[in-house]
Amino acid sequence: MTRSANLSFTNHNKVFRDSALCAPRYFRGGSPLIRIAPKLTENPVSSVACSLQSCLDHALLVPLRVFPNRSASVVSSQNQQIMFVFPGQGSQYVGMGSDLIRDFPSAQRRYEQASELLGYDLIKLCLDGPEEQLRLTRHTQPALLTHSLACLEIFQELTDHQVQPVLTAGHSLGEYCALVAAGALDFATALRLVQQRGECMGTYGDGEMLAFPLHLDSVRPLAEQHFCAVAACNLSDQTVVGGRGPDLDRLTEAALTHFPRKKPTRLKTEGAFHTFYMITAALHFRPTLDAAEMKAPAIRVLSNFTGSHHDPDPAAIKTRLFFQLFHPVNWIGNLETAFHDEITTIVEFGGGLGSGPNPEDKRPNLESMVKKALRGSDYSVHYHAAINSQTLRDAAKALQP
C-alpha cells in the first residue's frame, strides 16, 4: 500500500527547541552520568569521558532555526528528495520475512547468508519463533537488520536501482541499516556488529523502559529524581524513559500525580537502552565497533546521537554509534533535520506493527511518528511502506521513473 500524508510543521520554534533539548549535553564532574552509572571502574569512566569530549567537539547539534511554511506538491520520481528509513526493536514479529523468502530468491539467499554468519538458523527463528526467543535482544537485532535489508535489496531489484535516496535514517538499531543503505557498511559487517551489540546489551544491560505521552521538559526532572533517564525523544509529546523496575514504578506514581491522564506504557525490552545503564554494554561493544571496516557514506546519514547528519569520517561515525548506546535517541531531531533538507518522499523498510499474524497484516513502524510530528501543516510528504511483498511492489510501482 502506498501512503501519502500531510504532516504538521506549524510550530517551528517548538519543534526545533524539542530536538535541541534532546541533543547530547556536556557532562562534568558530579554529573548524573558519572554519579549514577552502575559498577564502573575509574578506567572505563575515563575512557567514556575522553571519547565523549572527542565526539562532542565534532557534534553537529541541531540549532534553533526559523524558516517559513513550505508546501510540497506532488512531484515526479526524477526530482523527488527521497529518504530511506529503518525501524528499531519492537517492530519484529514471528513470521517476519516469510513472504519475502517465498516470493524473492534474493531474500532466500540473504537469509541463508545471515544464518551462516550468525551460526544458527535465522530463517527458522523468524518464521517459527518462539516469540520469546525472537524478542531477546541478541536475536532481535540480527533478525530485524536482515529483514530490513532484504526489503531494501528487493526494492532495488524491482526499481532496477533507479530510485535512490539523498538521505537515510534509522531508529536505534535501524541506524546500522541506514549506514548499509548509504554504502558505509556492507551487510556482513553490519550483521556482525548488531549481533555483538545485541549480545552486549542483553548480557551487560540493566533496567526496563517506559514510554510517556509527555513532553521532555515534563518527564526529565521527574525521571532524574527517581534515578531514571530519558532514552528517546520520539515526538514533542512522546518521551521514553529507562531505569530499574522499582524506580520506574515510583516514577510512574509521581508522574500520574502530576499528569493523571498521561499513563505510561511499559515496553518489552531487556534493559534501559540508550541510558547510563548501557555504559558497561557499550564498553564491551566498543572493541568490535572499533575493528569494523567502515567507509565514508556515499550519501548523508542521520545520527540518533546528535539528531543531525553524521560526519562522513568513519572514526566519527563509530564514536557516535558508541555513544548512541547510552544516550537518548534524538528522533525528533532526525525528523527536523530531514525536513530542513526538504525531503519530499519517505520509504520505510522492514519490520511491522499490528496484531494480524501475517506480513500483509502489518503496518510500518515509523510512519505514525512522522505524521504526528508534522500534523496540521501544509507541508506534504509522500510515505511509502516497503515492509512485505505487496507493499514492496506497490512502492516500487509508485516510485519507478
Question: Domain spans of the chain?
Answer: 2-13+63-205+275-399
The pLDDT assigned to 53 comes to 47
| Catalytic residue list contains 274 | yes
Gap between the Cα atoms of 314 and 360, Å rounded = 37
* Cβ atoms of residues 333 and 216 within 8 Å: no
- Residue 401's pLDDT is 85
Residue 24's pLDDT is what? 60
Q: What pLDDT does 378 receive? A: 75
Catalytic site residue from 172, 303, 308, 377: 172
Q: Is the dihedral of CA 317, 320, 325, 331 positive or negative?
A: negative
Query: Which pLDDT value is given to residue 3?
Result: 45
- By three-state DSSP, how is residue 116 classified? helix
Alpha carbon of 386 to those of 4, 11, 80, 205, 395: distances in Å?
14, 30, 17, 32, 6
Q: Which of 139, 171, 274, 382 is catalytic?
A: 274
Which residue from 18, 81, 165 is spatially nearest to 339, judged by alpha carbons?
Answer: 81
How far is CA 354 from each of CA 18, 94, 219, rounded to the nearest angstrom?
A: 29, 12, 28
- Cα–Cα distances in angstroms (integers) from residue 322 to residues 10, 52, 236, in the given order: 34, 9, 25
Residue 172: active-site member: yes
pLDDT of residue 200: 98
Read off the pTM.
Answer: 0.85
| Residue reference for cell 511502506 | 385
pLDDT for the residue 33:
36
Superfamily of domain 2-13+63-205+275-399: Malonyl-Coenzyme A Acyl Carrier Protein, domain 2 (3.40.366.10)
Residue 239: predicted pLDDT: 98
Is the N-terminal amide bond of 264 cis, ω within 30° of 0?
Answer: no
Q: What is the pLDDT along the chain (401 residues), one digit of tens a residue?
A: 444 444 444 444 445 556 666 766 533 333 333 333 334 444 555 555 544 544 444 443 333 332 233 333 333 345 789 999 999 999 999 999 999 999 999 999 999 999 999 999 999 999 999 999 999 999 999 999 999 999 999 999 999 999 999 999 999 999 999 999 999 999 999 999 999 999 999 999 899 999 999 999 999 999 999 999 999 999 999 999 999 999 999 999 999 999 999 999 999 889 999 999 999 999 999 999 999 999 999 999 999 999 999 999 999 999 999 999 999 999 999 999 999 999 999 999 999 999 999 999 999 999 999 999 888 777 779 999 999 999 999 999 999 98
H or E element, residue 4: strand 2-6
